Structure 1
Amino acid sequence: MRNPLFRPRALVAAGTAAMLALGAAACGDSGESDADITFWHIQNEDPMKSTWQAMADEWSEESGSTVEVSAILNEDFKARMSTQTQAGDLPGLYQTWGGGVLAEQVEAGLVRDVSGLPCLDKVNPIALEAYTIDGKLYAVPYDQGVVGFWYNKDLFAQAGITAPPATWDEFITDVQLLKDAGVTPIALGGGDKWPIHYYWTYLVMRLAGLDGLQAGADAGNFSDPAFVQAGQLLADLAAMEPFQEGFESAPYDKTDGEAAVMGEGLAAMELMGQWAPQAQRDNSGTDGPGDALGFFPFPAVEGGPGTVTEFLGGGGGFAASAEAPDEVEDFMCYLLEEENQARVVKDGNMSTVAANPEAVVPEPNAEQQMVIDAMASATATQLYLDQAYPPAIGSTVNDASQGLILGELTPEEFVAMVNEAWAAEQ
């Protein structure tokens, strides 16, 4: 399997003087605490919010060390981590998706090398790839999966659709059938931007193939016609107005966001990762689509070398600050104990990263089985671009994706915008 981690040739760890000043003002959010370890994560809804807290409390009681846990909304977490990275003051243990963001923190000397953890035999080696930089491990995973379309079978049936689309042309046809049936085809958290970039990334993966995407990143240039064509296909989709009303400012994971729209049965599908079913329930306050929920891979695009077995994917992990006490390694291993991995899978409805999956998930539920089956079919994976690339590039891809579907950028302007960001990194 392809290593999903893009390793940039040059990482710019220093910010502007203003950014440093902002970071200095916030310095202490993570470091100044009576606790031995500060622990930041993004599971801010129960049951996982309480599960992480319980694990921290249990380990504290056993070890005699203390853990101060902070559950932070996804977008707020990213903003705070950017500030803390600029200040050089990271939490003792914190959420990471790996890739270029983690690599930049490593380049700045802010992250602990955990290659020697004695508990790594409890983890599937594939799940460590996104957190491995220059042969060293800088985080441990707790979840791993792929991005695909989660869809409501009942709403598909209402539109007369009997099977998920296998090609982009079939997908576009189905979008129109759903609209004709009075069903909102796609839920989208356009205000958060990153859900949009999944569409553009997948279209590039199908049109250029993973080798073409990697070649563009290696060169720091996305001028290959496939990148422009991907933008045009996404712009054409947006022109069909397939998204829910107010998608432009909608978040992903709040009561008025993408996940809630899917959970309430108000849209037929969303392009999202393995966490989607639980997020649908959490944010809608409902049981979600239930047995009507299905999953299909991003369709093939005619004429492109990419295949439906090449997935965009990744998961969540925890990295430790270089300044964290040595006890943080023991806490990381505690989280990886099989019984604790089983709690994460059960309470968070997550996909296991265990070396021995049967010991952690002896009887996966239907949603977990869908992800397991997709991962088993995968011939290659690509980490989310806003994490795989340096932060300046990833954020530009997200910004450009939003501009494209809002009609503020042409496909050519999208590519030019990202190329300018690449040039600034070199």
Structure 2
Amino acid sequence: MRKPQSRARAVLAAGAAAAVAFTATACGDSGESTADLTWWHIQNEDPMKTTWAEMADEWAAEADLTVEVEPIANEAFKERLATSAQSGTLPDLYQTWGGGVLAEQVEAGLVRDITDDVDCLDKVNPITLEAYTIDDRLYAVPFDQGVVGFWYNMDLFAEAGIDTPPATWDEFLGAVEQLKAAGITPIALGGADQWPTHYYWTYLVMRTLGLDGLEAAAEAGDFSDPGFTEAGQKLADLAALEPFQEGFESATYDQADGQAALMGEGGAAMELMGQWAPQAQRDNSGTDGPGDALSFFPFPAIEGGAGTTTEFLGGGGGFAAGAESPDEVVDFMCFLLEEDNQAQVVKDGNMSTVAADPAAVVPDMNNEQQLVVDAMATATGTQLYLDQAYPPSIGSTVNEASEGLVLGEISPEDFVAMVNEAWAAEK
């Protein structure tokens, strides 16, 4: 089986909370629509929920078509898409993070090849297309890009006597202990969702082995290098400090009592999350979030490790088309990439893919977006989230093992054995 890129330069989209359906309908003189499109995405919180619905309305009116828009919560979306794929069909347009999940759908013949059909990519940053390119063919268009790092509350850091964000792993562990000593929860984590936890293990591997080492291991389907066990031990050491909020193991990322809400309420000093985090903090807490106190720092370096702090975990959101989708879906994809629409996407908290510099689309982007842009400007390499970069069976194993390691249910050696077994089954 072909192994998809383990090292992608594309940079996700956010998760949210409940499935709601909208229908954008426009009829011509005949009173009948000439085609129907179904569109599944995970922006089911405003402002993006309304933004996508309004764009569907506008395009449908111009095209004289019908668009059924379904915003679906992140985890429910993944389950529903997997079920749909197993049945042999996918929606006309649907959210994708690319990588191995998309590659498996392509291999099953479920995705439209848009390489020769899409003629609106001249202004798109080529880097953002890599996660959606399989065997030199394009299967999705991007709408968001960014990187994962630590979003932190500067006021809480100051309260604990921490003047600058930690630059090394040892400094990071020291900051955790300092925050705890000050009676502050160091880290918010939605442990029940698993994927937020896998960010920690992935970054520790990236800092220990570097991107080249991780890529080589993925290509070989073998994580036996001692660096993987070392990374697991470092995550176990962090967990032993009990840095997460009480009940983190049952908390999700995007619910009222979850990871994002806790950060928004000022209940924890930091979270490791992507570019969507500030808006998710506001959405899920029902507050304005930390406001000007919110800032960002890259995952710390590991002394003696092969990786650098300019190598980022990251990804973006894109839209792919089901193999049976009508031809009009390509025009709709291009409509979503028009500069006015991308400008609105940026205003709503996402990062534009239309220009290499998102500031060219929205010159007055907010400070949170500028922090991500500045981090991306320093990037010497990026790694797509492993639960998307790898085949689904491998990605889900990494997620499960990350949870087990943090809960103390498995050892770093068990982690490696689980992933190697999954790779062996995949070959």
TM-score (norm 2): 0.91
- Equivalent residue number for residue 111 of structure 1: 111
1:79 corresponds to 2:79: yes
- Equivalent residue number for residue 297 of structure 2: 296
How far residue 46 of structure 1 moved from its aligned partner, in angstroms, is 0.9
Structure 2: how far apart are the matches of 1:204 and 1:47?
Answer: 35
Matches within 5 A, 1:9-408: 36-116=36-116, 117-347=118-348, 349-355=349-355, 357-408=358-409
Residues 7 and 156 (structure 1 numbering): CA distance in 2 closer, same or farther, change over 3 Å?
Answer: closer
How far residue 5 of structure 1 moved from its aligned partner, in angstroms, is 3.2
How far residue 118 of structure 1 moved from its aligned partner, in angstroms, is 1.0
Structure 1: how far apart are the matches of 2:169 and 2:100?
Answer: 30
Deviates most, 193-202 or 109-118? 109-118
Q: Show CA shifts across 1:139-186 (max 9, x none).
A: 011100000000000000000000000000000000000000000000
C-alpha contact (below 8 Å) 1:7/1:99 kept by paired residues? no
**Helix, strand or coil: the match of 1:143?**
coil
C-alpha contact (below 8 Å) 1:5/1:388 kept by paired residues? yes
- Equivalent residue number for residue 421 of structure 2: 420
How far residue 232 of structure 1 moved from its aligned partner, in angstroms, is 0.4
Structure 1: how far apart are the matches of 2:47 and 2:81?
Answer: 24
Structure 1: how far apart are the matches of 2:270 and 2:152?
Answer: 4
Question: Where in structure 2 are there 5+ consecutive unaligned residues?
Answer: 9-32
Structure 1: how far apart are the matches of 2:211 and 2:61?
Answer: 47
Structure 2: how far apart are the matches of 1:369 and 1:114?
Answer: 32
**Helix, strand or coil: the match of 1:248?**
helix
Question: Where in structure 1 are there 5+ consecutive unaligned residues?
Answer: 9-33
Structure 2: how far apart are the matches of 1:139 and 1:168?
Answer: 37
How far residue 6 of structure 1 moved from its aligned partner, in angstroms, is 2.5
Structure 2: how far apart are the matches of 1:321 and 1:129?
Answer: 19
Structure 1: how far apart are the matches of 2:229 and 2:46?
Answer: 42
C-alpha contact (below 8 Å) 1:125/1:355 kept by paired residues? no
Structure 2: how far apart are the matches of 1:83 and 1:371?
Answer: 34
C-alpha contact (below 8 Å) 2:7/2:215 kept by paired residues? no
- Equivalent residue number for residue 17 of structure 1: none
Amino acid at match of 2:296: F
C-alpha contact (below 8 Å) 2:347/2:365 kept by paired residues? no
Structure 2: how far apart are the matches of 1:263 and 1:304?
Answer: 33
Q: Show CA shifts across 1:182-231 (max 9, x none).
A: 00000000000000000000000000111111111111111100000000
- Equivalent residue number for residue 11 of structure 1: none
C-alpha contact (below 8 Å) 1:88/1:110 kept by paired residues? yes
C-alpha contact (below 8 Å) 2:207/2:306 kept by paired residues? yes
C-alpha contact (below 8 Å) 1:122/1:336 kept by paired residues? no
C-alpha contact (below 8 Å) 1:231/1:414 kept by paired residues? yes
How far residue 359 of structure 1 moved from its aligned partner, in angstroms, is 4.0
Residues 7 and 279 (structure 1 numbering): CA distance in 2 closer, same or farther, change over 3 Å?
Answer: closer
- Equivalent residue number for residue 26 of structure 1: none
How far residue 97 of structure 1 moved from its aligned partner, in angstroms, is 0.2
How far residue 249 of structure 1 moved from its aligned partner, in angstroms, is 0.9
Amino acid at match of 2:96: T
**Helix, strand or coil: the match of 1:266?**
coil
Equivalenced residue count is 397
**Helix, strand or coil: the match of 2:249?**
coil
Deviates most, 281-290 or 210-219? 210-219
C-alpha contact (below 8 Å) 2:261/2:282 kept by paired residues? yes
C-alpha contact (below 8 Å) 1:122/1:338 kept by paired residues? no
Structure 1: how far apart are the matches of 2:161 and 2:422?
Answer: 44
How far residue 7 of structure 1 moved from its aligned partner, in angstroms, is 8.6
**Helix, strand or coil: the match of 1:212?**
helix
**Helix, strand or coil: the match of 2:317?**
strand
Amino acid at match of 1:354: V
Structure 2: how far apart are the matches of 1:422 and 1:288?
Answer: 41
C-alpha contact (below 8 Å) 1:98/1:131 kept by paired residues? yes
Structure 2: how far apart are the matches of 1:300 and 1:192?
Answer: 26
Q: Show CA shifts across 1:343-363 (max 9, x none).
A: 11112x011111263441112
**Helix, strand or coil: the match of 2:122?**
helix
Q: Show CA shifts across 1:117-137 (max 9, x none).
A: 111113111111111111111
Structure 2: how far apart are the matches of 1:283 and 1:61?
Answer: 33
How far residue 79 of structure 1 moved from its aligned partner, in angstroms, is 0.4
Structure 2: how far apart are the matches of 1:355 and 1:306?
Answer: 28
Q: Show CA shifts across 1:88-136 (max 9, x none).
A: 1100000000000000000111111111311111311111111111111
C-alpha contact (below 8 Å) 1:345/1:361 kept by paired residues? yes
